[in-house]
Structure 1
């Protein structure tokens, strides 16, 4: 014969269930969530900063592409003129028909150190320098809006990219920048080379050094 279990009187230790106080639960939750929120915030800030920097570097990549196309167009104009006029050059450009080098815009790299530079839209300044045979006028290239980078066009020599392969018969379109103003420069460049057969060949890729500086 089984004996019925005795009822445990209320209030005895066996009848009580162990419970954590509410404030301890809150403290534990905060201890887990606060560091996690800090990590997520840091990742979000990094992601936004990198997105903004990428948008700025797109300016450099697009602009040196445009400068390269302008150099190719100027070369084609000169080649056409030489074909019509014989052996003489029509505008006194380089022996291989490229526009000669341009002055960098802005002239001082400090003008784009952590800030934008507004090109001066007046005759004989910034992108309106050069002649029909040299510089920005020969390229027929100009920028009116503020820029984050210093832009270069060098033909034959004076290349700023350490990996430039343009040589004596080529040109380099390039951008230098200092987005964070720390004195460490980024460089973007694209080469073009005139072959012995007289064909201008543009590099298919942009060379980049210290992209997000």
Structure 2
């Protein structure tokens, strides 16, 4: 009976406690890494979704130009008049946000309001009013060089093209991440890139 009672009162050894602490530390490190990666993925989804929206806006603008030529008024329609939006006058914001968010201006002629019905953001019908982590650009013609993995859309017989891109610095270490999606006109039809080209996604 005495031996059994002494065994019931026996506590954990130092080795057992150290093993438990080590396991908890490993699990905590994995959890912190997972949460950080999840937050970074949530932030990069802003760039991916926005670039997709800019590309869709460019495609819609290209198709809008043909609407008038398709209306028949007792005769034959005129030739289709396709045209991409001209380049945005400046990226938004002017500098890449470094580990912070930028609040786009709602003032006319500034940020996403700068341009005309055939030029820049108003032509694309694209605007962002919420704070953003990335700098965005839209360029008609050859690629701007922000993304070195993005193929030149003017190659292989394309007569006109565009690039929508984003650059960011989520961790503020001056190493930029870049996202780009383009489109090219082949035989009178606008063909969009099937994917977003990405460099240093989580920087």
What interval of TM-score do these two structures reach, taking the shorter chain for normalisation?
0.7 to 0.9
Unpaired runs of 5+ residues, structure 2, are 72-76
Q: 1:41 is paired with a residue of what secondary structure?
A: helix
Matched, 1:199 2:189: yes
Instruction: Give the alignment's TM-score, normalised by structure 1.
Output: 0.80
Matched, 1:107 2:94: yes
Matched, 1:98 2:84: yes
Match of 2:59 in 1: 72
| RMSD after superposition | 2.5
Q: 1:48 is paired with a residue of what secondary structure?
A: helix
Greater shift, 174-183 or 164-173, is seen at: 164-173
CA–CA distance in structure 1, aligned partners of residues 84 and 180 of structure 2: 17
Match of 1:169 in 2: 160
Match of 2:126 in 1: 141
Shift of residue 79, structure 1, vs aligned partner: 3.0
- For these two proteins, the number of residue pairs brought into alignment is 187
Matched, 1:54 2:45: no
Larger radius of gyration: 1
Q: 1:193 is paired with a residue of what secondary structure?
A: strand
CA–CA distance in structure 2, aligned partners of residues 77 and 108 of structure 1: 32
Shift of residue 31, structure 1, vs aligned partner: 1.5
CA–CA distance in structure 1, aligned partners of residues 188 and 68 of structure 2: 14
Instruction: Give the alignment's TM-score, normalised by structure 2.
Output: 0.83
Alpha carbons of 1:82 and 1:157: their partners in 2 closer, same or farther (altered >3 Å)? Answer: farther
* Deviation readout 1:44-80 (Å, 9 max, x if unpaired): 0000000001111111111100000000011111233
Unpaired runs of 5+ residues, structure 1, are 1-14, 90-95
- Say if 2:70 and 2:80, in contact at 8 Å, map to a contact too: no
